[in-house]
Structure 1
Amino acid sequence: MTIRKFHPLRIGLAICLAAGVAMSADAAEDKLTVVVTDEPKSLDPCDTDLSGNSRILHNNITEALVNLSPKDGSVVASLATSWRQVDDLTWEFKLREGVTFHDGKPFEASAVVAAIKRAQDPALACEVGLATLKGVKLNAEPVNPTTVLIKTDVVEPILPNKMSAVDIGSPATPTDGKTRSPAGTGPYKLDAWTPGQSVALTAYDGYWGDKPAIKNATIIWRAESAVRAAMVETGEAQIAYEIAPQDGTTDQDQAFPNAETSLLRLDAQVAPLDDKRVREALNLAIDRDGLVGTIFHEDAQKAMQVVPPSVFGFNPDIPVWTYDPEKAKSLLAAAKADGVPVDKEIVIYGRIGIYPNSSESLEAIQAMLADAGFNARLEMLETSPWLKRLLKPWDKDRQPSILQTQIDNAEGDAVFTLPNRFTTDGNQATIADAKLDKLIADGSKATGDERKKLFQEAFRYIAVDAVNIAPLFHMVSIARVAKDVNYIPDVQAGNEIKLKSISYR
Structure 2
Amino acid sequence: MTAQQPLRWGATLLTTLLLGTAMASPASAQADSLTVVVTDEAKSLDPCDTDLSNNSRVLRNNVTETLVNLDPANGAVLPSLATEWSQVDDLTWEFKLREGVMFHDGTPFDAAAVAAALIRAQSPDLGCEVANADLKGVVFTPEVVDPLTLRISTDIVEPILPNKMASLDIGSPSTPADAKTRAPIGTGPYTLAAWNEGQSVVLAGFDGYWGDKPAIANVNIFWRAESAVRAAMVDTGEAQIAFEIAPQDATTANDYAYLNAETSLLRIDQAIAPLDDKRVREALNLAIDRDGLIGTVFHAGAQKAMQVVLPSVFGYNPNIPVWTYDPERSRALLEQARADGVAVDTEIVLYGRIGIYPNSSESLEAIQAMLLDAGFNVRLEMMETNPWLAKLIKPWEGTRQPSILQSQIDNTQGDAVFTLPNRFTTDGNTSTTVDTALDALIANASKATGEERQKLFQEAFKVIAVDDINIVPLFHMVTSARIAPSITYVPDVQAGNELKLKSITYR
Q: TM-score, normalised by structure 2?
A: 0.97
1:137 and 1:241 mapped to 2: Cα distance? Answer: 36
Match of 1:331 in 2: 333
TM-aligned CA deviation for residue 396 of structure 1? 6.1
Match of 2:463 in 1: 461
Q: Secondary structure at the match of 2:30?
A: coil
Q: Secondary structure at the match of 2:130?
A: helix
Match of 2:480 in 1: 478
1:115 and 1:19 mapped to 2: Cα distance? Answer: 40
Residues 1:434 and 1:22: Cα distance change in structure 2 (over 3 Å): closer
Confirm or deny: 8 A CA contact 2:354 2:361 kept in the other structure. Answer: yes
1:320 to 319, 322, 337: 322
Match of 1:96 in 2: 98
- Give unmatched runs, 5+ long, in structure 2: 1-6
Confirm or deny: 8 A CA contact 1:59 1:186 kept in the other structure. Answer: yes
Q: Deviations over 1:268-288 (max 9, x none)?
A: 000000110000000000000
Q: Secondary structure at the match of 2:156?
A: coil
Residues 1:312 and 1:302: Cα distance change in structure 2 (over 3 Å): same
Counterpart AA for 2:369: A
1:406 to 405, 408, 421: 408
Counterpart AA for 2:69: N
TM-aligned CA deviation for residue 398 of structure 1? 1.0
Q: Secondary structure at the match of 1:124?
A: coil
Match of 1:188 in 2: 190
Q: Deviations over 1:278-304 (max 9, x none)?
A: 000000000001000111001000001
Match of 1:282 in 2: 284
Q: Deviations over 1:478-500 (max 9, x none)?
A: 00000100000000000000000
TM-aligned CA deviation for residue 129 of structure 1? 0.4
2:241 to 239, 242, 248: 239
1:22 and 1:350 mapped to 2: Cα distance? Answer: 29
- Give unmatched runs, 5+ long, in structure 1: none
Counterpart AA for 1:448: G
Q: Deviations over 1:463-488 (max 9, x none)?
A: 11111110000000100000100000
Does 1:31 pair with 2:30? no
Match of 1:112 in 2: 114
| 1:18-417 matched pairs, under 5 angstroms | 18-24=22-28, 27-395=29-397, 397-417=399-419
Confirm or deny: 8 A CA contact 2:25 2:233 kept in the other structure. Answer: no
Residues 1:19 and 1:345: Cα distance change in structure 2 (over 3 Å): closer
1:362 and 1:493 mapped to 2: Cα distance? Answer: 24
Q: Deviations over 1:235-274 (max 9, x none)?
A: 0000000000000010100000000000000000000001
Q: Secondary structure at the match of 1:471?
A: strand
Confirm or deny: 8 A CA contact 2:118 2:140 kept in the other structure. Answer: yes
TM-aligned CA deviation for residue 23 of structure 1? 4.2
The percentage of aligned residue pairs carrying the same residue is: 71
2:330 and 2:186 mapped to 1: Cα distance? Answer: 52
Q: Deviations over 1:33-63 (max 9, x none)?
A: 0000000000000000000000000000000
Q: Hey, which bits of structure 1, 4+ residues long, moved more than 4 A? A: 4-7
1:78 and 1:292 mapped to 2: Cα distance? Answer: 39
1:251 and 1:234 mapped to 2: Cα distance? Answer: 15
2:419 and 2:24 mapped to 1: Cα distance? Answer: 41
TM-aligned CA deviation for residue 19 of structure 1? 4.2
1:486 and 1:103 mapped to 2: Cα distance? Answer: 31
Counterpart AA for 1:20: A
Confirm or deny: 8 A CA contact 1:6 1:295 kept in the other structure. Answer: no
TM-aligned CA deviation for residue 438 of structure 1? 1.3
1:229 and 1:396 mapped to 2: Cα distance? Answer: 40
Q: TM-score, normalised by structure 1?
A: 0.97
Q: Structure 1 residues 204-213 or 460-469, which shifts more?
A: 460-469
Q: Deviations over 1:325-379 (max 9, x none)?
A: 1111111111111111100000000000000000000000000000010000000
TM-aligned CA deviation for residue 439 of structure 1? 1.2
Counterpart AA for 1:370: L
Match of 2:3 in 1: none
Confirm or deny: 8 A CA contact 1:303 1:472 kept in the other structure. Answer: yes
Residues 1:171 and 1:331: Cα distance change in structure 2 (over 3 Å): same
1:260 and 1:6 mapped to 2: Cα distance? Answer: 25
Counterpart AA for 1:121: S
TM-aligned CA deviation for residue 20 of structure 1? 3.0
Counterpart AA for 2:62: N
What is the alpha-carbon root mean square deviation over aligned residues? 1.5
Q: Secondary structure at the match of 2:279?
A: helix
Confirm or deny: 8 A CA contact 1:45 1:169 kept in the other structure. Answer: yes
Counterpart AA for 1:146: L
Counterpart AA for 1:352: I
Match of 2:4 in 1: none
Q: Deviations over 1:92-150 (max 9, x none)?
A: 00000100000110000000000000000000000000000001000001000000000
Confirm or deny: 8 A CA contact 1:6 1:246 kept in the other structure. Answer: no
2:236 and 2:397 mapped to 1: Cα distance? Answer: 46
Q: Secondary structure at the match of 1:176?
A: coil
Counterpart AA for 1:142: V
Confirm or deny: 8 A CA contact 1:410 1:492 kept in the other structure. Answer: yes
> How many residues are aligned here?
499
2:24 and 2:152 mapped to 1: Cα distance? Answer: 52
Residues 1:271 and 1:19: Cα distance change in structure 2 (over 3 Å): closer
2:396 and 2:227 mapped to 1: Cα distance? Answer: 32
Residues 1:210 and 1:302: Cα distance change in structure 2 (over 3 Å): same
Match of 1:450 in 2: 452
1:34 and 1:426 mapped to 2: Cα distance? Answer: 33
Counterpart AA for 1:340: V
Residues 1:19 and 1:39: Cα distance change in structure 2 (over 3 Å): closer
TM-aligned CA deviation for residue 22 of structure 1? 4.9
2:36 and 2:178 mapped to 1: Cα distance? Answer: 32
1:134 and 1:168 mapped to 2: Cα distance? Answer: 18
Residues 1:236 and 1:6: Cα distance change in structure 2 (over 3 Å): farther
Counterpart AA for 2:142: A
TM-aligned CA deviation for residue 18 of structure 1? 2.7
1:414 and 1:68 mapped to 2: Cα distance? Answer: 15
